Amino acid sequence: MLLVSELIGPSNLHIRTRKYLHGNMPIWDKAFPIGIPEQNPGKLVGAPSTETTPHETVCAWIDIAAPDSAPQKSLLYGEDLLRAIGNAGASVPITIISGREFFRFYVIPQLASKWDNHLKTLFNESISLDFSK
């Protein structure tokens, strides 16, 4: 699965979320598959939570990828990993592959002073997507 949350702005900031599924991928039992999310985001489940108008842009985003069967609780440590690397002064995007999970976070320079708030908001939006589907 791929969970995507984007902070849309710059005025009237709001969040757009999407969930993609990959189906049965035996490789995921051993390692994180090459090509996800760039070449293979998966199949979109439902519609995006909001649409972007022509005058809006993505100001921050988070990608979380894991096997479709991954329980929500198995992804919770991703926020701590991203926060630790961000606090260490890493430049964005911050990308982590940990076992079978992938976490990536980006924020535009204009919003960088509040990166940790945006990380928390986007991470929580992503993992709150319905895991029963």
Per-residue pLDDT at 54: 76
**C-alpha to C-alpha distance for 43 and 45, rounded to whole angstroms:** 6
24-75 residue pLDDT tens: 888 888 888 989 999 999 999 977 767 767 788 899 999 999 999 888 888 9
Phi, psi of 79 (to 5 degrees): -65, -40
Residue 99 confidence class, pLDDT cut points 50, 70, 90: confident
124 is written with which tokens? Answer: 């929580």
Report cis status (omega within 30 of 0) of the bond before 54. no
* Domain ranges within the chain, ordered by starting residue: 2-127
Predicted confidence band of residue 132 (pLDDT cuts 50, 70, 90): low
7 φ/ψ angles, rounded to the nearest 5 degrees: -90, 115
pTM: 0.90
Q: Which residues neighbour 96 within 8 Å (Cβ) at sequence distance 6 or greater?
A: 78, 81, 82, 85, 102, 103, 104
What is the rounded distance in angstroms from the CA atom of residue 44 to the CA atom of residue 48? 9
Q: Tell me what pLDDT residue 24 has.
A: 85
Percent of the chain with pLDDT over 70: 95
In 3D space, the residue among 65, 98, 67, 66 whose CA is nearest the CA of residue 81 turns out to be: 98
Query: 114: part of which helix (H) or strand (E)?
Result: none
Specify the 3-state DSSP secondary structure of 128. Answer: coil
